[in-house]
Structure 1
Amino acid sequence: MTRTLRGTEVDPPPEKPPARTGRGARLRYRLGVARREPTLFLGIGLVLVLLYLVIAPLVSIISDGFAVHFGDDFKAGQPVGALTGYYLWRVFRSPVSTELFWQPLVNTLIVAVGVTAVALVLGGFAAFLLTRTDVKGRKALANALVVPYMLPSWTFALAWLALFKNGRSGGQVGLLQAWGVNTPDWLAYGAVPIVICLGLHYFPFVLLLFGNALRRLDAQLEDSARILGASRGTVLRRITLPLMLPSLSSSTLLVFGRILGTFGTPYILGLPVDFNLLSTSLFSAVRSGQQGVTAVLATVIVMIGVAMVLFDARLVRQTRRFVTVGAKGAMERTIALGRWAGLAATGAWTLFALSVVVPVATLALTTVTITPGVFSADNFTLAFWTAEHLPGAPGFPHGVLRGTELWSAAWNSVRIVGMAALICGLAGLLIGYVVVRADRSPIAKVLRQVSFLPYLVPGIAFAAAFLSLFAVQRGPIPALYGSIALLVVTLAVTHLPYSSRSGISAMTQLGREPEEAAQMAGARWLTRIRRVVVPIQRGPLITGIVLPFVSGIKELSIVIMLTTGGTQLLTTLSINLVDYAYAQMANAVILIIAVLSFTITYLTQRLTRTSLASGLGG
C-alpha cells in the first residue's frame, strides 16, 4: 500500500524473497528493488545515450575517411560506399596534400608553440607577481587579469584588424594605415598577429593554473636554501622551478591542445594571406563538400588532441614525485618589491590594458566612426548601431540594433545555449549520482570515462563528427543538419565534461545518510532526488548549468559548421559580417557578446560566491 509522509507519496520497502522461489518471483523481486533503487538502471541508460552521442560520432567521422562518397567514385576509381584509401592518399600524398594538410600542420605547430610561449611568459609573470610579491592591489589585479579569458577569443583579432589592417583584404583600412603608417602583411595578417592575439587570450589560463600551484608551494623550502647560502637565482633554478614543473607542463600541454580547435582568430587573421591552420583547413573542406577529406583531417585533429590530454594526465599522475610535506602545512611568504613595486604594478596594469582596455576601446571606437583615424565631430555617428538604412551595405542595410538579424541571433543564442546548459547541469548531476552511488560497478567506471571523453576532442573536430553522424537519416533518427536539436545536443555533449566533473565532485561530498533516512521512511527514488538530493546540491547544479551557458554564449568553433540561416547565433552572425567586410557591424556584435559574457560570468560568481581568481591576490 502507498502511505503518506508529510504529503509525500512513499512506498513500503519490498518484502524479502522466500528462501525457495521460482525464476518469475526472483525477477519480480529484482524489478521491485530496481523501482525503488534504480541507480544501476539509470547508469545503463546514461551509458547507452553517451555511447551514441559521444562514441558514435567519432566512429562515424573515422569511418567516413575510408568509404567512397557520392561524387568521388570517378576520382577514387571505386563505387560509392566501397572501402578505399583514396582520402588518405589525397590528404597525405597527393599533389594538393601540402595545401590540405602539411602546410596547415606546420602553421598549427608554429602558432601553437608561439601562443604557448607568450601565454607562459605573460601568465607566469602575472602569477608570480600576484602570489609571491607584495605588489599593490593584488586582489584587484587578480580579478582584472582573468577578464581576457571571458572575452571571445577573436575579439583580439577584430581589434588587431581595426588597428593594423592594410588594403590587401579590401574594405576600410586600420587606424595606422589611415594615419599614413604602412603596415606590412606580416604584421597585419598571418602568424605574428595570430600568436599575439591568442597569447593575450590564453595567458589567464596559465595564470590560474600556475598561480594556484605557486600559492601552494611551501616557502620554507626556499627559506632553507637561502639560509644555506643559495642565491635567489639558484633558489629559483634548483627549488622553485623543479617543484613547479608539473603545473608548468600541464599549462603548456593544455594551451597547446586548445590551439588545435581554435577557429575564429586564425580564420579572421589568416584568410587574407592564405595562412591556414588545421582548424581552418578542416572548415574549408566542409564548406567545399569534401566529406572524405573532412573525415581524415578531423581524425588527425582528434588524435593529436587525445594524445596531448593523455600525456598531460600522465604528467599529473607523476606529480606525487613533487609532493612536499611540511609539519604544519605550507607557509606562504611574499617578496618585498621595494622600489620596484611601482614598476611591477605598472607592468601588470599595462598587461590588463593591452589585453582588455585597448581591444574593447578600439572596437567601440570603430563602431561610432565613419572613417578610421579621423576624429572630427562630423565623423562620429551612431548609424552603425541605430540607422534604419545604411548606404552601400546591401547584405546588412541597417544598424545592428535595427531589423531582425541581431535579435533573432540573440534569441537563438539564449534559447539554444540555455537548453544545452540545462541538459548539461541535469546530466552532470545524474552522472555524479551514479558514479558515486555505484562507484565499484563497471557501469560507473565506463560512465566516468565516456562523460569525460569530449574534453579530449577539439571542438571543431567534434562538430565535424556530429555533422558526419547526423547530416543524413540513420535508422529512426532523422537528418538533423540545420536544426536547433543538433546545436543543442552538440553544445551539451561538448560541455558535459565540466558538468559531469562538477556533479561527481559534489556527490562525493554528499554522504548517503540523508537519502538513506528518506528511504527508510519509504520515499520513492524520484522523491528522494527531488526533495533531498537536488535541494542539497543546488549550488553545484546551478554552477553546472551557468558555466556551460557562459562558455556556450561565446562559442564559435563548435557551432560554425552546424548553423544555417534559420539557426544563426550571435557568434556566427559576427563572423558572417566579417566575411561581408562590414567591420563596424561585426565589431558591434562582438561587443554585445563580450558584455553578455562578462555580465553572466560576474552574476555567476556572485550567485555561487566563487571567483575565477580565487586564491590569487591575497
Structure 2
Amino acid sequence: MPDSGTLSARGPAAVAGSRRVTWLGRLRNIEPVMLLWIALIGVLLFLVAFPLAKLFVVSFEDQRTGAFTLANYAFAYGRERYINALVNSLLLGLASATLAVILAVPMAWAVSRTDMPGKGLTWATVLGAFILPPYLSAIGWILLAGPNSGFVNRFWRDLTGFEAPLFNIFSFEGMTLVIALNSFPLVFIFVKAALDLVSSEMEDAANILGAGTWTAMRRISIPLVMPAILGGFILVFLEAISLFGVPAILGIPARLNVVTTQLWQFFEWPVRVEVAAAYAMPLLMITAGLIAVQKLLLARKGFVSQTGKGGERRLIRLGRWRWALFAWCAGVGLLAVAMPLFVLAQASFAKAWGRGFALDNLTLANYRLLIFEHEMAMQSVWNTVWFSATAATIAVLLALLIAYIVNRRLVPFGDALAFVAMAPFVIPGIVMAIGFYAAYAAPPLALYGTAALIILAFAARFLPIAYANSAAAIRAVHPEMEEAARILGSGRLHAVWRITTPLVRKALLGGWLIVFIVASRELSAAIFLVGPRTRTMAVLLYDMSEAGNFEVLAAFGGILLVITMAFVGIGMKLLGRDFMLRRG
C-alpha cells in the first residue's frame, strides 16, 4: 500500500492521467452494438429534435443580427389578416371534423353492427377516399362544382333555368366538403374498431326493456364509443388545419386565407422564415394539446365492453331500413370517390373537358404530352418514386432499431427514444417542413432544394407510421429465440438480422408500403423544400393547377393514382385487403 508521500509525489497531473486512462479503457470496452445505438440516437435527434429546436430558436431571432427578439411574433400576429387566417383555419377544422363524423359514424355502425348489404363496397369507398389525395379530389370537385363550368352547375342551369350556381366549390363550404370527404375514413376506422368490441348483450337488454333498434343505437351503442368518435373528430380537425393543397386550390381563388396558405406567403420573396416559424408555433401548440386530449379520451375506449366475459356479437337485422343505410354509404362513396374520379378520368382523355363525352372529344394527347414532351413530368414521377422509396426505407430501418431498443430495454432512456420517434405524429407537415428549412437550408449544409433534404423530411414526417408497425411486430417476437442464438455464439446484431428481422418481415413490408404511399402524395411538406429539378408529382400537380389546364392536370393525376394503386395492389396481395386501414 503506497504511503501519503508517494501519493503526494504523483501530483494532480498523474491522477488526471489515470482518470484519462480509465475513461479510454471504458470506451474501448463498449460493445460495437452500443456504438450503433449511440449513432441511432444521433440520427433521431438530427431528423426530429434539431429541426424543431431550430424552428423554436429562429422564431425568436432577428434575421440580420441573430439577436433575441419578439418582433417576429409581433409581426406574425400584428395584422388583422393574419389573425383572420388563424380563425379561418380553426373554423375550417371544426366544420370539416363535424361533417366527417356525420358521414362516418352511420357507415361504421352499419358495417360493424348490422346486416346491411354491400359492406365490401363500403370498405372500397373508405379505402378509395383514403388513397385519393385531397388536392386531387379538390381538382375533381372544381370540374364538378365550379360556379361557371362545373358539370353539376351546368346541369342545374339547364334543368331549372336559374343562372346562379347550385353549389360554388370556391367557398368555405366547398373546402369543408372536400376535406370531410377525404378525412372521414379516419373517423370510420376509429369508430368501427370501437364498435367491434361492444357486446350485443347491452343492446339486447335495452330491447327487452322496450327500446327499439334506433333507440338502442342512439342510447347504448353510440355513447359507448363516444371516446373513439371524439378521437376521430380531433384527428380530422388536425388534418384540416394542417392541409395546404385544398385551401390553396379552393381558398385562394375565393380569397379565403388560412394558416397554411399564409405560411406559404411568408416564403415568397423575400423569404421570412423567422416570421413563418413564429406564426407556426401556435399551430404546433394547438396540435400537441389536442393530441393529448385525444389520448386521454381514447384511453377510455371500450371501457364498458371489456369485462372479461367474452360477450356475443350479433348482427342487428334492419329489415327494409338496411337499404336506406346502404343508400347512405353509397351516397358517401359517390361524393367522395366515384364522382371526382369520373370527371378526372373524363377530363384526362378530353380535348376540352367542358364538352363532355363525345367521340370527337376523345384524345390521348394529354398523356402523350406528359410522357414524351413535358420537360418536368417524367422527372417528377422519378423524383416521387425514389424520394418516397428511400424515405420509406430510412423510416422503416430506423423504426425497427428504435422499436427493438425500446422493447428489449437495451438503454435506460428507451421511452424517451419512443417519444421522439412518435413526436412527428403531432407535428403538422407544413411545420415540419419549415423546421427542416430553418435547420438545414442555409450553410454549412445548404441542402435547400436537394433530394437529400426532401428525403430526410419525408422520413422524419412519416417515422411514426413505421414505428407503430415495427413496435407492434417486435412485441410479438419473444426474446427467447434471440437469446438461444446468442448462447450458440451469435452476436446481438447478427441475431437481430437472422432471427428477428425475418419474423417481422411482413409487418415491415406493410409499414414500408404505407410510408411510400403517403409520402408519394405528400404536398404540405414538399412544397416548401423542393427545387427546380426536385419537384415531386404532388408539387407539379399544384403548379399545373395554377396554370388552369385541367385536361393535362387530370391526366397527370391519373398517372399518380395508377402508381398509388399499383403499390396498394401489391400490399393487398401480400398483406391482406385491409392492410392500409388496420388499426393497432
Tell me how far apart the structure 2 counterparts of residues 54 and 185 of structure 1 sit (CA, whole Å): 46
Q: Does 1:544 align with 2:511?
A: yes
Aligned residue in 2 for 1:225: 206
Match of 1:61 among 55, 58, 61: 55
Corresponding residue of 1:380: 362
In the alignment, which of 113, 116, 119 is matched to residue 100 of structure 2? 119
Paired position in structure 2 for 1:562: 529
Aligned partner of 1:325 in structure 2 is 307
Aligned to 1:482: 449
Q: Would you say the 8 A contact 1:212–1:615 is kept in 2?
A: no
Cα 1:183/1:588, change in 2 over 3 Å: farther
Deviation at 1:367, TM superposition (A): 2.1
For the residues of structure 1 that align with 2:558 and 2:95, how far apart are their CA atoms?
A: 27
- Structure 2 matches for 1:118-517, cutoff 5 A? 118-166=99-147, 173-176=149-152, 181=157, 182=163, 184=165, 187-288=168-269, 289-319=271-301, 321-322=303-304, 324-327=306-309, 329-371=310-352, 372-386=354-368, 398-399=369-370, 401-438=372-409, 441-474=411-444, 478-517=445-484
Cα deviation 1:215-268 (Å, max 9, x = unaligned): 111111111222233444543343222211111111111111111211111110
The aligned counterpart of 1:75 is none
| TM-score with structure 1 setting the length | 0.85
Kindly report which structure 2 residues correspond to 1:523-534, keeping only aligned pairs within 5 A, or say none: 523-534=490-501
Deviations 1:504-541 (A, max 9, x none): 21111111121111111111233222222222221122
- Do the aligned residues in 1 keep the contact of 2:122 with 2:330 (CA within 8 Å)? yes
For 1:43, give the aligned amino acid.
W
Identify if the C-alpha distance between structure 1 residues 514 and 58 changes in structure 2 by more than 3 Å, giving closer, same or farther. same
Whether the 8 Å CA contact 1:459–1:557 is kept in 2: the answer is yes
8 Å CA contact 1:179–1:373 kept in 2: the answer is: no
How far is 1:604 from its partner?
0.9
Q: Deviations over 1:306-329 (max 9, x none)?
A: 1111111122234475453152x1
Supply the AA of the counterpart residue of 2:463: L
Residues 572-613 of structure 1: per-residue CA shift (max 9 Å, x gap): 111111112222111211121122212212211221235148
2:417 corresponds to which letter in structure 1? Answer: L
How many residues were matched structurally? 559
Tell whether the 8 Å contact from 2:55 to 2:435 is kept in structure 1 after alignment. Answer: yes
Is 1:52 aligned to 2:46, yes or no? yes
Root mean square deviation of aligned Cα: 2.5
**2:370–2:377 contact (8 Å) kept in structure 1:** no
Residue 496 of structure 1, CA deviation: 0.5
Residue 614 of structure 1 and its aligned partner are, at CA, apart by 6.9
Residue 576 in structure 1 maps to residue 558 in structure 2: no
Q: Secondary structure at the match of 2:508?
A: helix
Matches of 1:304 and 1:401, distance apart in 2: 46
Tell me the equivalent position of 2:9. Answer: none
Closer, same or farther: CA 341–228 of 1 in aligned 2, 3 Å = closer
Tell me: CA distance 1:612–1:355, structure 2 relative to 1, closer, same or farther (3 Å): farther
Taking only the aligned residue pairs, the percentage that are identical comes to: 27
Deviation digits for residues 83-114 of structure 1 (CA, Å, limit 9, x no counterpart): 21112111223xxx2212x1111211221111
Counterpart secondary structure, 2:443: coil
Native 8 Å contact 2:127 2:581 kept in 1: no
Deviations 1:251-305 (A, max 9, x none): 1111111112111111100111221111111111112412222111221221111
Q: Distance in 2 between matches of 1:103 and 1:401?
A: 45
Q: Is the 8 A contact 2:129 2:337 kept in 1?
A: yes
Q: Any conservation in 2 of the 1:44–1:443 contact (CA below 8 Å)?
A: no
Post-superposition shift, 1:127?
0.6
Q: How far is the alpha carbon of 1:548 from its aligned partner?
A: 0.4
The residue type paired with residue 363 of structure 2 is: T
Contact preservation (8 Å) 1:88, 1:296: yes
One-letter amino acid of the counterpart of residue 379, structure 2: S
Within 5 Å, which residues of 2 pair with 1:584-595?
Answer: 584-595=551-562
In 2, the alpha carbon distance for the partners of 1:316 and 1:160 equals 34
The answer as to whether partners of 1:546 and 1:604 remain within 8 angstroms in 2 is: yes
Aligned 8 A contact 1:385 1:585 in 2: yes
Distance 1:615 1:380, change over 3 A: closer
Look up the SS of the partner of 1:585 in the other structure. helix
Question: Distance between the aligned counterparts of 1:336 and 1:434, measured in 2?
Answer: 49
For 1:35-114, list aligned pairs within 5 A.
35=32, 38=33, 40-70=34-64, 80-93=65-78, 97-100=79-82, 102-114=83-95
- Map Cα deviations across residues 51-91 of structure 1 (whole Å, 9 max, x no partner): 22212111211222211114xxxxxxxxx222211121112
- Distance in 2 (alpha carbons) for counterparts of 1:112 and 1:614: 23
Change (3 A) 1:489 1:26: closer
Instruction: State the Cα distance separating 1:159 from its structure 2 match.
Output: 0.9
Asked if structure 2 preserves the Cα contact closer than 8 Å seen for 1:309 and 1:456, the reply is yes
Q: 2:48 is aligned with what amino acid? A: V
2:266 touches 2:275 (CA, 8 Å); kept in 1? yes
Paired with 2:169 and 2:383, the residues of 1 have a C-alpha distance of 33
The whole-number CA distance in structure 2 between the counterparts of 1:516 and 1:87 is: 55
Alpha-carbon deviation of 1:44? 3.1
Deviation at 1:332, TM superposition (A): 1.2
Kept after mapping to 1: 8 A contact 2:433/2:529: yes
Q: CA deviation at 1:347?
A: 3.0
Rounded Cα–Cα distance in structure 1 between residues aligned with 2:541 and 2:263: 20
1:445 CA drift (Å):
1.3
Summarize the Cα distance change of 1:23–1:299 in structure 2 as closer, same or farther, 3 Å threshold.
Answer: closer
Rounded to whole Å, the distance in 2 between the matches of 1:602 and 1:204 is 19
Question: Take 1:344 and 1:45, find their aligned partners in 2: how far apart are those partners?
Answer: 54
Q: Give the drift of 1:431.
A: 0.8
Distance 2:427 2:164 in 1: 37
Query: Closer, same or farther in 2 for the Cα pair 1:399/1:33, shift >3 Å?
Result: closer
Cα separation, 2, equivalents of 1:418 and 1:346: 39
* SS of corresponding position for 1:510: coil
> Do 2:55 and 2:277's aligned partners in 1 also have CA atoms closer than 8 Å?
yes
Residue 26 and residue 466 in structure 1: after superposition, are their counterparts in 2 closer, same or farther (change >3 A)? closer
